[in-house]
Structures are given as C-alpha cells and as structure tokens.
Amino acid sequence: MKQYRLAVDVGGTFTDVFLFNEQTGEISVTKTASTPSNPEQGILDGIAKAEINGEDIKVFSHGTTVGTNALIERKLPKTALITTKGFRDVTEIRRGTKRELWDAYDDVAKPYIQRRDRFEVDERIDYSGNILNGVNEQEVRELANILRRRGTESVAVCLMNAYVNGVNEAKIKEILEEELPEAYICISSEVLPEIFEHERMSTTIINAVLGPTITKYINVLESEMEGHGYKDDILVLHSGGGVMTSETVPRYAARLASSGIAAGAIASKHIAKLCGFDNAIGLDMGGTSTDISLMHDGDLRITKDWYIEYGYPIGFPSIEIITIGAGGGSLAWIDEGGSLRNGPRSAGAVPGPACYQRGGTEPTNSDANLVLGRLGTELLDGKMILDKEKADDVVDKVGQHFGYTKEESADAILQVANANMCDALRLISVRRGYDPRDFALVTMGGAGPVQGAYVAKEMGIPTVIVPPHPGVAAAMGCLLVDVRHDISKTFVRNVESVTIEELEEAFISMDTEARDLLEEEGVSEVDSTLMRYIEMRYMGQWRSLAVSVGRPIQSLEATIKSFHEEHEREFAFSDENQSIEIYGLRVTAIGTVPKPAFQTFEPIGNITDAIKQTRNVYFDGEYVETPVYDRAKIPVLSEIEGPAIVDQLDTTTVIPPAFSAKVDVYKNLIINTNN
C-alpha cells in the first residue's frame, strides 16, 4: 500500500529529501550531493538514500533549479524569434534601464536570442484587435526552411498586439508545427496575453529557451521514476507558489525559472502559522545563496516584476523573493580598496569550503564558523568530517591583511555576511512599508540557523523560529502547495465606462480556460477553486494593484472602495476623487491537493540528557564553554539559555549569550532575541 509523500528540493549544492509516512505520521529527512550536469540523478540518489521504493510513494512533488541554472549558465537550445516587421530589436532595446544607473561599465546581459536568430514577418493587428495585414503563408514556410537548415530547436512567436487578438500568431504556430515537427513552438498570446511588448516578448522568449530543456528533464525524470516503480504524476513547483503536473510543465516552462526558490517561502509561511505568527520573514540560507521572503497577515507577497537576469523580465505572477549571494560557501575577499567583502562568489559544491577537504583554498562563511567553534568538525551525523586546520589557514589570510587574529578575522567575515543579509531584509520589509519588529524570522537552509540570531538582533526582530528540519524545509514546502494556474488578460478601460456585464463576459471566458487547465491536470471539479482579480490603477499611473472580486461580481462600487484601501496600505496614499482605470483581469485556478497533517509531541525525557558535549565557542571577543545539544533528544516544551549550540543532521543552530530558546509541541525551536 502506498504510504509515503515524497518531496525533493534540488539545490545548487545539495538535493534535500523530505519523506512523510502517512500511516505513522513519521518524518524522515536526508541530503545528498546535487549533480548539476545530471539533475535527476541527485533525486534518484536521495530516494535511494531514503531507502524507499517507487511503489510505496503516493505523492512525489519537487522543486528544481534546472530552469534557473540554464538561464544563468546560458546552456540553452538553438532558439529563434519571429516578430512583426519593425520590432526585431525590442528584446535588445528593453526599457533602456540598467541595474546600476551611474555605473558606465555595468552592462545588461546579452539577449537570450541573438539578432541573427530574430526574424520579422509582414503582418499587423491594430490596438483593438482588427487584422490590418494577415499572415503570408509562403513567407512563413520560407522562414521555416531557414530555421530547419540552421538546426533551430525552439521558436518564440511574439507579434504586435497579439495580446488582444492572437489569430496571426496561431496561424504561424500551425505552419511551423507542420514544417518543424520536432521543434518547440510557443506564442505570446498563449504564454502571456498582456500589453507591453517588451515584457510579453521577454516572457515568451524565456519560455521558448527553457521549453526543450525542461521537457527533456521531465521526460528523463519520468522514465527514471517509472523504472523505480513510481508511475503517478510528477508534481513540479512553480514560481507562483503552486505545482504543475508533468503534462503542463513544458507549456509554461518559464514558470520554473524560480521553482526551487519558491519552496522555501511556502515552508516559511506554514511554519510561522504553526507557531502562531501571521507576519514572518523567511531566511533560507543555503550553500551558495540566501532567499528572503515576506508574509504579511498570513499571505506571501506576490509580484510580476521579477527576473533571473536584469533586463529580461518574466511576466508570470511569482512569490516575491530577494536572492543574494550569501551562503555557507560564500567566499570572503578583499577588494581593490582594501575592504573586506563577502560573496556573491561561492565555493559551491565543488571544490566547496576549504574545511570540506575537496580542494577549496579561499575562506568561506563555513570556514569562519568552524574557526569560531560554532560549527563542529562533524556534519551529517558524522558522515562528513571537517578539517579545522584548513579552515584556520584560509581564514588567517584575511587576518594577515588586516592584522587580525584568526578569531577576529572569522568574526569579521561573518559580520559582513550578516550585514549583506540585513540589507536584503530591509529591501523586502522597510522599503515596502513594513516594520521588521512586527515579524518573526523563520530561518531555514543548512546555514540559516547558524546566522539567524545575529541577523534578527541587528534588525530588531524579537523572535527567531528554527523548524525541526531546517536544512530540508524547502523540500517540505513542496508538499504544502496546491496545483495552481494564473490566467491573465489585458482589459484597459476607465472604471466609469465599463459595466459588470462586460467584466463578467471576459471573466467567464477566462474561467473556462482555467477549468480546462485543472481538468488537464487531473483535478476534479469538487477540488477546484477559481479566484478573480481586477488589476486597477489611478489614471496616469504605471503600475497597478490587484483587487479581489467575487464570482459573480456583485458591485463595482465595492471593488473601487477596496482599491482605495489597498492603495492606502501599499503606498500610504489614496485619492477617492481621482479617476480609476482597469488595467487587466486575472483568474487564479487552485486545485486542492491533500496535505500532510504534522503531529504534535508530548514532553518525554530530560533536557540534560540532550547535552552531548561542551566546547569552546567564540562569542563577543572571547571563548565561552558552551553546551552542545543533540536536537533529536531535546524534549518538547524545554527551555535553553544561551550560549548554546544545537546540532542535528541537516544544520547547526547557534543560540548566542543572552538569548533564550524553547521547543514547542511541533518541535520548532523558538529563539527569543531579548531585544
């Protein structure tokens, strides 16, 4: 009988496996090294390490960095763009902006499709959807012949004003599928039918360049899993905080550009709510990067303004996450001005930190923590031995430059890393109008609990939550999501000139598309939920706000009132005398997936039995003899006074002096920063 729910998070350094036994309620976790050149192998290794068979798996859900890595590393298939005559260079002109406005040497990355592979066709549709110039079939077939000779594997089609009428794009797609049956074809009117040619073209291009890679990955993974006895759907987490089945993943490949990143935010939300917090900041610090998310009033922030590389936006809704190059493997270095820096370069999985004994020769955060005694010399329950002498040697390189002791050098390295993370926390909280002191900090990843207390102290955050399995919390997040699709449509009208009947007509069409997608995913009608949103803005504004509306819409007056209230909350400003414009419509389709119910525990045993050793740990300029606890043996409802170190399979938690912690009934470790 199938009894396991399996969740896997494929990271840049480790592949994390989270296993939930439905019959017993037991949770087991494991980690294995990621294999970037063969990502599905890390998953299979993790399953083998968990010692389960495919026949025993009831649900398999996972997040993957395949799409993210493909874009960053530019390991992309031969892809072409077909667009309207005169618009070949939209993707290169972009918005004319740059990340560093005043840095003359900071160039935006090259387009994913170079100019020689961007082609124009003579067609035109006007702003209202009228066909001014149809598609010349012979022209498209000749173009297909050129693409065939060039060995093109994927084609993105993005025509002007196709968001309001996609008939010309559909015709081109039909011809290309006849002429290039092996190629991946996607059109903007199906991928993202929204106004603004750059955002629509960019999203369609990214969908096209990732399509063949994601399709190949899913096909290989399905084949391998079937060989291991698992024959049900493979669920893949997407940027919007939901999952797709392998049936629809190839169609919306761009949604996987931040697949693995979203899992940590979902886990953070769930953990915070278990602990009684509706406001929480997630700090998911792994080996190479830190992902920061924010939940306010029980909801994660969603954005449509995101990208993997600046200048090339992805228009699908995504959980708002700030990612910085700060992880356990982030390298400490000295810049040309003689200042100490930390990240974004990382030692990665290979060679890794110097203490891993795999050839690393530069100091990392992990080396610094080992020097200070905050990390022990054994990780993964003794299966990984760290070399303290190598850590001392590389950290001392920093000390030689500044005239520091090795302890002062290690402390300085970590202070810079913490400062980088605090800057990112301010971006997602203070810059958005939120006070960090009103939030809890949920620390995850292999390195998050090591640094979490120090980051919270710097930000004035009163509470730090360390979940039972922080190193694999992102994997757990993959089990806590539903099937989700977001259908959008541009609908630009003054709110005073539109009727409820017109809006209903548009929404009904979108509802039908959303239901078809859920049905394709195998979701029954009883498990389906459709939510409607109207994107609104004051006349003359650039950005819009999404306002939830009922099915059917009851009152435009109530919707307008909600918009004013939301605008006041978001921007501390509203104007009830200002005209309002509807910018677009959105339908979010949710297919409810059964989720595990995590058990509570009774206090058993004594806290002193959990102390496995004491060791000297460097705090505040001196070594302090510090108890080291085995987290698996700490009884629930126990209290721990800092300084203390808590060891477990997937991470180490540091509780500095003057801090205190307690364990709740779910085995979450809740640290009071005593600010």
pLDDT at residue 566, rounded to an integer:
86
656 is a domain residue: yes
User: Tens digit of pLDDT for each residue in 308-364?
Assistant: 889 999 998 889 988 888 888 899 999 999 999 998 888 877 788 999 988 889 999
Residue 233 is classified by DSSP as P
CA distance 675 to 673: 5
Burial class (CB in 10 A: 0-12, 13-18, 19+), 222: middle
Instruction: Among 196, 222, 241, identify where a domain stops.
Output: 196
Note whether 568 and 663 are same-domain residues. Answer: no
493 is a domain residue: yes
210 is a domain residue: no
Note whether 583 and 665 are same-domain residues. Answer: no
User: Could you please report the per-residue DSSP string of 331-367?
Assistant: EEEE-TTS-EEEEEEE-TTTT--GGGTSS--S-BHHH
Residue 598 in 3-state DSSP? coil
CA distance 375 to 615: 10
User: Which pTM does this prediction carry?
Assistant: 0.83
- What distances in angstroms separate CA 54 from CA 25, 122, 511, one per listed residue? 19, 52, 36
Burial class (CB in 10 A: 0-12, 13-18, 19+), 543: exposed
177 is a domain residue: yes
Note whether 654 and 571 are same-domain residues. Answer: no
Q: What is the CATH number of the domain that holds 165?
A: 3.40.50
Note whether 566 and 665 are same-domain residues. Answer: no
> What is the token pair recorded at 449?
């609990």
Note whether 98 and 126 are same-domain residues. Answer: yes
Residue 496 is classified by DSSP as G
Note whether 91 and 184 are same-domain residues. Answer: yes
Instruction: Among 196, 216, 231, identify where a domain stops.
Output: 196
> What is the token pair recorded at 446?
């292999």
Note whether 576 and 616 are same-domain residues. Answer: no
Note whether 576 and 612 are same-domain residues. Answer: no
pLDDT at residue 85, rounded to an integer:
96
User: Could you please report the per-residue DSSP string of 624-641?
Assistant: EEEEEEEGGGPPTT-EEE
Note whether 666 and 584 are same-domain residues. Answer: no
pLDDT at residue 582, rounded to an integer:
94
The pLDDT mean for the chain works out to 90
pLDDT at residue 10, rounded to an integer:
84
H or E segment at 82?
strand 79-84
pLDDT at residue 432, rounded to an integer:
83
Note whether 114 and 191 are same-domain residues. Answer: yes
Dihedral angle over CA of 90, 91, 93, 98, nearest 10: 150
CB 95 within 8 A of CB 198: yes
Over residues 441-451, the mean pLDDT reads: 93
Bridge-based pairing state of the strands 131-133 and 124-125: antiparallel
What band does 147 get if pLDDT is binned at 50, 70 and 90?
A: very high
User: Tens digit of pLDDT for each residue in 373-403?
Assistant: 999 988 777 778 899 999 999 999 999 999 9
H or E segment at 142?
helix 137-149
Note whether 568 and 500 are same-domain residues. Answer: yes
24 is a domain residue: no
What band does 551 get if pLDDT is binned at 50, 70 and 90?
A: confident
User: How many other C-beta atoms can be found within 10 angstroms of the C-beta atom of residue 620?
Assistant: 10
111 is a domain residue: yes
Note whether 514 and 615 are same-domain residues. Answer: no
171 is a domain residue: yes
Is the pLDDT at 675 greater than 70? The verdict is: no
Instruction: Determine what percent of the chain is predicted with pLDDT higher than 90.
Output: 57
Which has more pLDDT, 34 or 641? 641
Is the pLDDT at 1 greater than 70? The verdict is: no
User: Tens digit of pLDDT for each residue in 287-320?
Assistant: 888 889 999 988 888 888 888 889 999 998 889 9
Instruction: Among 142, 177, 196, identify where a domain stops.
Output: 196
Chain centroid, CA 399 distance in Å: 36
CB 479 within 8 A of CB 269: no
Is the pLDDT at 27 greater than 90? The verdict is: no
pLDDT at residue 472, rounded to an integer:
82
149 is a domain residue: yes
State how many domains the chain has.
3
User: Tens digit of pLDDT for each residue in 464-502?
Assistant: 999 998 888 888 888 888 888 888 888 999 999 999 999
Q: Which domain holds residue 637?
A: 607-672
Dihedral angle over CA of 402, 406, 407, 412, nearest 10: 40
Q: What is the CATH number of the domain that holds 497?
A: 3.30.1490
